[in-house]
């Protein structure tokens, strides 16, 4: 009998300001990945400038593809498909990845598959040796989304709750900006918070006193603005405010994640998205889950922030399930997670 072919794919990510490429193999996992962050390009503008992001993806993606193919000793003949982020995200940025992926797949005579960015974040944990069990609850916290999702199977996601306004990453970035930190503020604010004193400021824990699994982070900006306006912006003040901001966000996320485990009766939580790289959040979740005998699955920080490996995991699953795209190039800047087709296990 002929041995089943081991599927190997190229994956691209370009939904926002990271250009990334990866090569994944069904059996050996992640073979190579490269990420180029455009943060330096957008810093002077204090946030992502969509047009600049698209132009830079055009410049960066192809060299990244070349690099990952070389790094993994892969030739186009070894590839069985090309996965790319089709949405949600910035339309121009998505278009660059979609056009390149679709064209490469056409030239190489292999199928292309458009991946939902959030499905990528949800499945990043599959790249780690300790694979999360199904079903589980996922806490997905990024610059654009904050949601609790019941992951029933690959492709079967039930939204338990999400933010009504700002995402957790946005709350980090916007309050960081008020403190004069350069874009992207989240990781910088986290570093500053390490040097802050506990209890000097106390910011609201939005929606914590109400039942349910929704979040709201927009009030945090106003609270920080008041604190910053009412006091001289000394270095110590910035540290203390940063610490209080991080505390408020992390405490809210942990409390709601535990509530989601209670409500679903599940005992495994998977962390995903850029804010999942936050050390305090990882530590607090680990402690809270250990105390109740539940399991926490935290992909390493570089698999939490935007990357192509996670797009590859989702793409591989979808290609293996027979998903194929026609020759159209259709980015999907708005794309709901629950519209995805389930994949049979
Ligand atoms: O998932 P991601 O890389 O991109 C989106 O899909 O949005 O998430 C980026 C977000 C940004 O808001 C960034 O500030 C935040 O994740 N972030 C962090 C940390 N690392 C990244 N926030 C807090 N602490 C961190 N260590
Ligand atoms: Zn993301």
Q: Tell me whether domains 8-123+304-339 and 134-298 share a fold.
A: yes
335: region left, alpha or beta (phi > 0 left; psi from -120 to 50 alpha): beta
Q: Atom 7 of ligand 1 has which residue's CA nearest to it?
A: 143
Q: Are 132 and 263 in contact (CB under 8 A)?
A: no
CA of 3 to the centre of ligand 1 (A): 42
Count CA atoms closer than 13 A to 138's CA, side-chain side. Answer: 33
Q: Are 168 and 146 in contact (CB under 8 A)?
A: yes
| Residue 345: predicted pLDDT | 58
User: For residues 144 and 16, what is the distance between their CA atoms, to the nearest angstrom?
Assistant: 10
> Distance of CA 40 to CAs 64, 83, 151, Å?
18, 27, 35
User: For residues 107 and 114, what is the distance between their CA atoms, to the nearest angstrom?
Assistant: 17
Q: Which ligand is nearest to the CA of 273?
A: 1
Index of the ligand 1 atom closest to the CA of residue 304? 1
CATH number of 134-298: 3.30.420.40
User: For residues 285 and 245, what is the distance between their CA atoms, to the nearest angstrom?
Assistant: 17
CA of 15 to the centre of ligand 2 (A): 8
DSSP summary character for residue 209:
T
DSSP summary character for residue 205:
-
Q: Are 337 and 165 in contact (CB under 8 A)?
A: no
Write out the chain's pLDDT in tens, 345 residues. Answer: 455 678 999 999 999 999 999 999 999 999 999 999 999 999 999 899 999 999 999 999 999 999 999 999 999 999 999 999 999 999 999 999 999 999 999 999 999 999 999 999 999 999 999 999 999 999 999 999 999 999 999 999 999 999 999 999 999 999 999 999 998 899 999 999 999 999 999 998 878 888 899 999 999 999 999 999 999 989 999 999 999 999 999 999 999 999 999 999 999 999 999 999 999 999 999 999 999 999 999 999 999 999 999 999 999 999 999 999 999 999 999 999 988 989 865
pTM: 0.95
Ligand 1 test: best mutation among 274, 282, 309, most atoms within 8 Å of CB?
274
Parallel, antiparallel, or unpaired: how do β-strands 146-153 and 156-162 relate? antiparallel
CA of 328 to the centre of ligand 1 (A): 31
> Distance of CA 304 to CAs 60, 72, 123, Å?
21, 22, 10
| Residues with a CB atom less than 6 Å from ligand 1 | 16, 142-144, 169, 172-173, 184-187, 190, 273-275, 277-278, 305-306
| Residue 206: predicted pLDDT | 79
| Domain locations in the chain as residue ranges | 8-123+304-339, 134-298
| Residue 4: predicted pLDDT | 67
Ligand 1 test: best mutation among 19, 123, 186, most atoms within 8 Å of CB?
186
Paired strand residues for 97: none
Q: Tell me yes or no: is domain 8-123+304-339 CATH 3.30.420.40.
A: yes
Please count the other Cβ atoms lying within 10 Å of the Cβ belonging to residue 280: 17
Q: Are 140 and 118 in contact (CB under 8 A)?
A: yes
Between vectors from CA 75 to CA 70 and to CA 76, what angle results, nearest 5°? 125
Count CA atoms closer than 13 A to 216's CA, side-chain side. Answer: 10
């Amino acid at each position: 009998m002929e041995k089943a072919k081991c599927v190997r794919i190229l994956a691209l990510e370009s939904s926002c300001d990271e250009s990334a490429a990866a090569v994944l193999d069904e059996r050996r996992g992640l073979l190579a990945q490269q990420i180029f962050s455009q943060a330096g390009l957008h810093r002077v503008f204090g946030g992502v400038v969509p047009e600049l992001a698209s132009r830079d993806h055009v410049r960066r993606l192809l060299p990244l593809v070349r690099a990952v193919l070389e790094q993994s000793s892969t030739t186009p003949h070894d590839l069985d498909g090309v996965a790319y982020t089709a949405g949600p995200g910035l339309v121009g940025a998505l278009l660059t990845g979609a056009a390149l992926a679709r064209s490469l797949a056409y030239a190489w005579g292999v199928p292309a598959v458009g991946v939902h960015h959030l499905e990528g974040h949800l499945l990043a944990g599959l790249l780690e040796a300790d694979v999360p069990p199904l079903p589980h609850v996922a806490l997905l916290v990024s610059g654009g989304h904050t949601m609790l999702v019941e992951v029933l199977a690959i492709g079967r996601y039930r939204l338990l709750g999400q933010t009504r306004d700002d995402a957790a990453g946005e709350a980090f970035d916007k309050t960081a900006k008020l403190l004069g930190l350069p874009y992207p503020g989240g990781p910088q604010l986290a570093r500053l918070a390490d040097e802050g004193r506990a209890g000097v400021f106390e910011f609201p824990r939005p929606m914590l006193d109400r039942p349910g699994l929704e979040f709201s982070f927009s009030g945090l900006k106003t609270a920080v603005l008041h604190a910053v306006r009412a006091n001289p912006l000394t270095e110590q003040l910035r540290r203390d405010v940063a610490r209080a901001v991080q505390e408020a966000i992390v405490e809210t996320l942990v409390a709601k994640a535990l509530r989601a485990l209670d409500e679903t009766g599940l005992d495994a939580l998977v962390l995903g998205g850029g804010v999942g790289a936050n050390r305090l959040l990882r530590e607090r979740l680990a402690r809270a889950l250990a105390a109740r005998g539940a399991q926490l699955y935290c992909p390493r920080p570089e698999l939490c922030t935007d990357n192509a490996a996670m797009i590859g995991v989702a793409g591989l699953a979808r290609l293996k399930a027979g998903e194929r795209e026609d020759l159209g190039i259709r980015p999907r800047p708005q794309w709901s997670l629950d519209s995805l087709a389930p994949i049979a296990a």
